Chain A
Amino acid sequence: EVQLVESGGGLVKPGGSLRLSCAASGFTFSSYSMNWVRQAPGKGLEWVSSISSSSSYIYYADSVKGRFTISRDNAKNSLYLQMNSLRAEDTAVYYCARGGRDSPFDYWGQGTLVTVSS
């Protein structure tokens, strides 16, 4: 069974940092592109970042470029999102999802809530 489990969310002050993790199981993690998608309270889905299976290709939404860094450790079946210089508008539930360019997001984690507030 494919499982994606996010962790690392919480309350952080504006300007602070947070690192999200996504633990994958039930599939060959190293064969798939992975993504972070976020959803602000009461709002729609926003794609944040994608990373290819071997980390050769990395993409970011303009809203997070230069502040967020996506990475993965295929030996640990894990995906990460390092978030720096956090702003109030980064407050959202962050989901990791399997898929990417040319493939739909077929599995999603349960999400982890990030709240940026003083």
Chain B
Amino acid sequence: EIVLTQSPATLSLSPGERATLSCGASQSVSSSYLAWYQQKPGLAPRLLIYDASSRATGIPDRFSGSGSGTDFTLTISRLEPEDFAVYYCQQYGSSPPLTFGGGTKVEIK
């Protein structure tokens, strides 16, 4: 089973600032099958990034993903008010379980 560790647990930033979220895997993620999701309170998660660096349909270009192997990063170039939420990484490249990270909460400073 691949364990995903997200850091930091909480990121306190102001609108307009840059956010850098990390996701570390306990073993290499096959074919960079790593996704990032955004979740707001009371809502279902929304796919942001797949295959480590591809933006999902309709996702603004201020969101970008990078990384390979065991180290992955989600960057939000300039935080908008609607970006304050919880972000999860997930690997879907190995045999199940299709694990999620523990999440990073991006909160307003």
A-side interface residues toward B, CB under 8 Å? 35, 37, 44-47, 50, 59-62, 95, 99-111
Q: At the interface with chain A, which of B13-21, B44-52, B76-84?
A: B44-52
CB distance from B53 to the nearest CB of A (A): 12
Number of interface residues of B (CB under 8 A): 27
B-side interface residues toward A, CB under 8 Å? 31, 33, 35, 37, 39, 43-47, 50-51, 56, 88, 90, 92-103
CB distance from A4 to the nearest CB of B (A): 9
Interface centre among A60, A103, A104, A109 (most CB of B within 10 A): A104
Which one of B33, B35, B44, B97 contacts A111 once the chains associate, using CB atoms below 8 Å?
B44
* A47 surroundings in chain B (CB, below 8 A): 90, 96-100
Is the pair A108, B50 in contact by a Cβ cutoff of 8 Å? no
Is the pair A101, B100 in contact by a Cβ cutoff of 8 Å? no
What are some 18 contacts across the A-B interface (CB < 8 A)? A37-B100, A44-B88, A44-B103, A45-B39, A45-B45, A45-B90, A46-B100, A62-B97, A101-B93, A102-B31, A103-B92, A104-B35, A104-B47, A104-B50, A104-B92, A105-B47, A105-B90, A106-B56
